[in-house]
Amino acid sequence: MNSETYRLITIPSSHYCEKVRWALDWLKVPYIEEPHVPIFHRLSTQKYGGTSVPVLATNSGNFVDSTDILRYLNGVETGERKLYPKDAELRQEIDEMVELFDAKLGHNTARWLYYYLVGDREKMRRFWREGTPLLERIGYEIFFPLISKVAQNVLNINEASAAESLLEIEQVFEMVNLRLADGRFYLIGDSFSAADLTFATLTAPVLCPPEYPIELLFLEEWSPVLLETITKFRKTPAGKFALR
């Protein structure tokens, strides 16, 4: 087992960051998390050659893409648990599925959820402030309109894009539903892999698992549309698989 303690630069509720957190925890890798409020995170990521989160800083170099981080961790950690198998064909299949989830779920799930919440200072505190430094929490209150606007621009958040994102998410869920129809326990192969991890983490914004910053009991008050759609996703085979 690698004895190095890594440094993970994050935004508290980012599902891409959770993808890496889960990988580190699954592989039992020691790490120190450094959470930041959006925009302020750039002060840290730039030191390590990144612009967005997550960033994993290691003695071997710095990694600025969540999937690259998973591959790196799988290669250097020598424990029994792995995210990628030795079998080349299975590994290729997992790589392709992870790439698909990154492309079809990553921005889309965040865009859809944030469309309903991103302009609300109080609600977004749950996503952007938890565990961050005091000065950044103060900065959040002062600069929230700017932070919100930047997020809307970066994710291209508007009514039309949110609707398009929802359609893409539904297509991926249907694909996973069909894959699970044969009773399999994992998406690929006979053990937990990067494909399972990526699907579960990147669908968090549309499933609201217990670890997520939103509790279902708030959703009806916040937005009946959110509650209805999230409940629908949670009842699908794919949703139950991710929540498992």
Instruction: List domains and CATH numbers for the chain.
Output: 6-76 (3.40.30.10), 88-116+157-243 (1.20.1050.10)
pLDDT in tens, the chain (244 residues): 567 899 999 999 999 999 999 999 999 999 999 999 999 999 999 999 999 999 999 999 999 999 999 999 999 988 889 999 999 999 999 999 999 999 999 999 999 999 999 999 999 998 999 999 999 999 999 999 999 999 999 999 999 999 999 999 999 999 999 999 999 999 999 999 999 999 999 999 999 998 887 776 677 777 888 999 999 999 999 999 999 9
DSSP per-residue codes, 50-71: -SSS-EEEETTEEE-SHHHHHH
Look at residue 204 and give its three-state secondary structure. helix
Residue 109 CA, distance from chain mean position: 9
Look at residue 118 and give its three-state secondary structure. coil
142 backbone dihedrals φ, ψ, rounded to 5°: -75, -45
Look at residue 90 in the predicted model and tell me its pLDDT. 97
Look at residue 118 in the predicted model and tell me its pLDDT. 96
**Upstream peptide bond of 54 is cis (omega within 30 degrees of 0):** yes
Contact predicate 46/34, CB 8 Å: no
Give whole-number Cα distances, 3 to 17, 58, 73, 160, in Å.
Answer: 22, 11, 12, 48
Look at residue 1 in the predicted model and tell me its pLDDT. 54
Indicate the pTM of the whole model.
0.95
- Edge to edge, the sheet with strand 55-58 lists 31-35, 6-10, 55-58, 61-63
Look at residue 78 in the predicted model and tell me its pLDDT. 81
Look at residue 189 in the predicted model and tell me its pLDDT. 96
Q: At what angle do helices 66-76 and 194-202 cross, to 10 degrees?
A: 150
